[in-house]
Amino acid sequence: MSLKKIKVGLLGATGVVGQNYIKLLMRHPWFQIVDVAASPRSAGMKYAEAVKEKWQMSMEIPKEIEHLIVRDVQDLDSMNKEVNFVFSAMDLPNKEETKSIEFKYAEHNIPVISNSSANRWTPDVPMIIPEVNYSHLDVIPIQQKSRGFSKGFVTVKPNCSIQSYMTPIFALNKSGFKVEKLIITTLQAVSGAGYPGVPSLDIVDNIIPYINGEEKKSEQEPLKIFGKVGKTGIINDDSLQISATCTRVPVSDGHTAVVNMKFKDEVPSKEKIINIWKEFTSLPQELKLPLAPKQPIIYYESEIRPQPKKDRENDKGMAVTIGRLREDNIFDYKFVALSHNTIRGAAGGAILIAELLKARNFFD
């Protein structure tokens, strides 16, 4: 890898997800933020002035960032000419506008790695969990050809609520034990709602049994991730059925999922499942990508783990932590899984995609 850092831009830089990107990229060995963009109301301000009291990270605004002038996200002409690709942390109410902006950058030869849900269901836009469906990067040349892009393209990361169970299920499928049905109940942290998020009087001493749009995402996004590359885009998997209930709980960070699973054919032993999870590695580990967890799946024998407060930071906040695997009275097995929603489920997951893209020479 070259010692010269790749210059990157950040769309939606003033929001909480944008702030997380800044936090995670400050000491990154490959990438350097040189351009920040946001809504027109922040345009022309220094970054520190635009964010002010909305800065939510546990660190101060980095010196390298605080004096950068915020650019209107729609104004590509004023973008730093050194920018090689952009991370998109935009969360516009109008999803079609978000899609339009992201493709606008791609048309201008700027690759986009997005956190937004706007393009997750666009067939020729890969939705990547790097350990699971890295082969979907093969869709990028299809997207470029069909849309007339030269160097630009759009790729997205999936919803944060599915990160805690997709890799464990994939590991079992890969080992020859096909999972065909899942019942999922998520207990999602308040940070997943952004800032200012859920009012304190709603969440303190309470559980909110509904999160708008989350159940649909939890039931449908895995089908694209487990899909295959076709001639015009991703062909969704049709062999997996998922029923999801998504709740908001008074936890700061870390999404927990209670998972009941049924296998299609052979049912492995408990010991076999745990061994598959413990030994699982994938391409990001083979490539030794900077943000890749050394052990993607961590299993605890303790009956009282995982816990968000104790386990969400495992391996840079990028590992999935599992516990309580046991036989189920209706399905075959059930377990509890945890992932860090603002690291693995948001900025960190997208940065890992960028690392994979660099390692596969998509930024050359």
- Which residues are the active-site residues? 160, 255
Burial 328-344 (b: 16+ CB within 10 A, else e): eeebbbbbbbbbbbbbb
| Distances in whole angstroms, Cα of residue 262 to Cα of each of 239, 242, 259, 302, 362 | 12, 11, 10, 23, 38
Q: Alpha-carbon distance 137 to 361, whole Å?
A: 11
**Measuring CA to CA, which residue among 268, 275, 249, 282 is closest to residue 333?**
268
E strand or H helix that includes residue 299: strand 297-300
β-strands 255-263, 179-188: how paired?
A: antiparallel
* Tokens 């605890």, located at residue: 300
CB-based contact 233:269 (threshold 8 Å): no
Distance CA 294, CA 178 (A): 25
What secondary structure letter does DSSP report for 332?
S
Q: How distant, in Å, are the alpha carbons of 17, 136, 222 from that of 235?
A: 29, 11, 12
Residue spans of alpha helices (H) in the chain: 16-25, 47-51, 63-66, 95-107, 139-147, 163-174, 200-203, 214-225, 270-279, 283-286, 308-311, 314-317, 348-359
Cβ neighbour number for residue 104 with a 10 Å cutoff: 15
Number of other CB atoms surrounding residue 199 within 10 Å: 9
CA-wise closest residue to 169 among 225, 122, 121, 93: 225
For 53, 333, 338, the CA distances from 300, given in Å and listed in that order, are 39, 16, 11
297 bridge partner residues: 320
